[in-house]
Chains A and B, each alone.
Chain A
Amino acid sequence: MPALIECRDLVKTYTMGDQVVHALNGVSLDIEAGEYVAIMGTSGSGKSTLMNLLGALDQPSSGELRIAGENVRALGPDAVSRFRNRTIGFVFQQFNLLPRTSAVENAGLPLIYSGLPHGERVARAMKRLQQVGLGDRTDHHPAQLSGGQQQRVAIARALVNDPKILLADEPTGALDTKTSEDIMAIFDQLNREGITVILVTHEQEVADHARRQIVFRDGVIVEDRS
């Protein structure tokens, strides 16, 4: 059986004027279903670039990428949106919640694009908010929530579509140590339940939650240990 994620010689280059930046310079990597992976490395080493490719938010300049059996490079923009909607859950460093919108509406957002009716969206979003410990804050707007609570809403949103893969780019980067531990406890629990979790972090304590650690430097993998 093939791996859940298969990367072969992934290259991503950015051209700024006459300057070419190799954000990824030939990355080959397999991640199996149910793994818990932390990606580390210095700033600018290409971690976010890889995450965007793994999340089908961006396309590689060259190389092969199969996610859950799908050749992502071959998909058009709408098909890729659909793919993200069904397969991927994202958690961002800056939470990216809709302002002046309740927690339950924020958490249910992806389901709008799955075509679910309002009632079912609310029911599923409520369930996920309870799972991340926010069952009593469902009507709160982001501005009425702490940073840790906002990130929990974002996690509930990432989970609401029952994704195969949960991607988190520095999910604790904007949080204090105590709150970070709470968030990591949620990721640990989700991985125990069978979801593949891939996260980017600068902090060793956070990375230690994962069973596999991959280190980047200058767009290539320099270390991959389990």
Chain B
Amino acid sequence: MNAFASLRVALTALRINALRSALAMLGVIIGVASVIVLVSISEGTKQAVEAQIASFGANLLIIRPGSSTFGGRRGGAGSADPLTDGDVLAIREEVAGLSGVSGEVSASTTLVFGGINWTSRIQGVNPDYFTARGWIIDEGRAFSGAEDIAGRRYVLVGQTIIEELFDGANPIGQSIRIGAQPFEVIGTLAAKGESSWGQDQDDVVFAPLSTVRQRFGAGMSVTVRDAVSTIYADIAPGESTSRVIADIEDLLRIRRDIQPGAEDDFAVGSLAEFIRARNETESQLGLLLAVGAGIVLLVGGIGIMNIMLVSVTERTREIGLRLAVGARRADVRNQFLIESIVLCVIGGLAGLVVGVGGTLIYAEVGQLEIAIDPVIVAIAIGASAFVGVFFGLYPAHRASRLNPIDALRFE
């Protein structure tokens, strides 16, 4: 008997017991559907986190004086000495594996264009800042290192500024007044949207660091004339984050004259790692749920086995008859095995429909990120076929071992 004839026999048997077949599938349907829903949701969350990390700069290190806010590392007191242009320069020159280093200072200020006012912060940065923080120049250009050192009054503006101040018109070449001083807009930045905590990331104005320091007094105190509030360092692709962090720490300890054994009075943090750590519990929860769904699938498989055993018992006389008229043991085994696989695969496909539907509804209602991965879908269907084989094998084997005489006489 060929496989096609076996399939035919199996399908006929399933159709004859349609209601029972449907009930047997239920466990597999629920199992596959929940696997797909849960994995899609946790995958969506993960992708959202990665997108968030990318919007900050995927390989970004943040270096700040004083108490650490990243990675749970404890730093010294908040009154630690500030970081300076000299530190920026030293890190840029002496630490290998960095593709960009930038200091940052900022000042609160009011922007004026025509008759319109807009209160924002102006940030003074070095040219490396834009790639380090994942900013894309939309139109125009960034300033050069020379323009930075020269303290040119150039600004790059975010999309919110364009909306609020220029009513959406192209601002390149326009002159705006910032704190009573004229600045020329030389570039615009592509939108980043809202951060995960609801902050508008496009309400930004960037100028050369020395310009902001000179014009707004940012990062200047009586003792220190060249302070920066934060240093951003962008790790080049393929470089070890921990190695780079260690090198920066060693360098700064020497520059800041910290004795061996004493604690750092600065902190080097990886934002990506910080965010990943914060979301770790979430993704572990997703994994846990997926394991739970796998258990449901397992229970579904046991349900299939139960139904198949009942079916074999109920159809003992049928098996006896088939053996009597010429079925080989393998024919009988294949018939029940195929029935079990067909049950599970149809259940799996139904579960797929329910799962994808449920995921889409969840995304719609919950306004949450989802990601339906074709690989997961394939795995879910493959898993249900496997469940069919695994849990069908024993009942099918039992059926094939029946003796025709005893089977025919079975009441």
Contacts and interface: CB of A to CB of B under 8 A. Distances in A.
A118 B9 CA distance: 11
B252 to A, nearest CB: 81
Interface in A95-112: 96, 98-101, 105, 109-110, 112
A148 B179 CA distance: 108
B329 A90 contact: no
A85 B408 contact: no
A55 B326 CA distance: 11
A84 B405 contact: no
Contact of A81 (B8, B12, B321, B327): B327
A110 B326 contact: yes
A113 B327 contact: yes
Interface centre among B323, B325, B329, B404 (most CB of A within 10 A): B325
Nearest to A109: B325
Interface residues of B, number: 25
Nearest to B8: A118
B1 A115 contact: yes
A183 B330 CA distance: 35
Given A96-B408, A109-B322, A115-B1, A78 B328 contact: yes
Contact of B328 (A82, A90, A92): A82
A99 B15 CA distance: 12
A149 interface: no
Nearest to A114: B326
A101 B325 contact: no
Given A96-B321, A98-B318, A82 B404 contact: no
A77 B324 contact: no
Contacts of B330: 78
B368 interface: no
A110 to B, nearest CB: 4
A147 B323 CA distance: 24
Contacts of B1: 112-113, 115
Contacts of B403: 58
Interface in A70-85: 77-78, 81-82, 84-85
A96 B317 contact: yes
A98 B325 CA distance: 13
Contacts of A114: 326
Chain B contact surface mostly: helix
A55 B321 CA distance: 13
Contacts of A157: 325
Contacts of B404: 57-58
Nearest to A87: B326
A131 interface: no
Contacts, number: 65
A52 interface: yes
B16 interface: yes
A113 B326 contact: yes
Nearest to B335: A112
Contacts of A81: 323, 326-329
Contact of B324 (A57, A78, A105, A118): A57
B321 A78 contact: no
Nearest to A106: B321
Contacts of A105: 12
B264 interface: no
Nearest to A116: B5
Interface in A144-165: 157, 161
Contact of B405 (A58, A99, A115): A58
Interface in A136-189: 157, 161
Interface centre among A52, A112, A115 (most CB of B within 10 A): A112
B16 A84 contact: no
Interface centre among B322, B323, B324, B329 (most CB of A within 10 A): B324
Contact of A113 (B8, B12, B320, B328): B328
Interface string B392-411: 00000000000111001000
Given A96-B321, A98-B321, A112 B5 contact: yes
B405 A110 contact: no
Nearest to B2: A115
A57 B324 CA distance: 7
B176 to A, nearest CB: 83
22 contacts: A57-B408, A58-B405, A77-B328, A77-B329, A78-B329, A81-B323, A81-B328, A82-B326, A82-B328, A98-B318, A98-B321, A99-B16, A100-B16, A101-B12, A101-B16, A109-B321, A109-B322, A110-B326, A112-B5, A113-B1, A113-B326, A118-B8
Given A57-B405, A113-B322, 11 more contacts: A55-B324, A58-B403, A58-B404, A81-B323, A81-B329, A84-B324, A84-B326, A86-B326, A96-B408, A112-B327, A113-B327
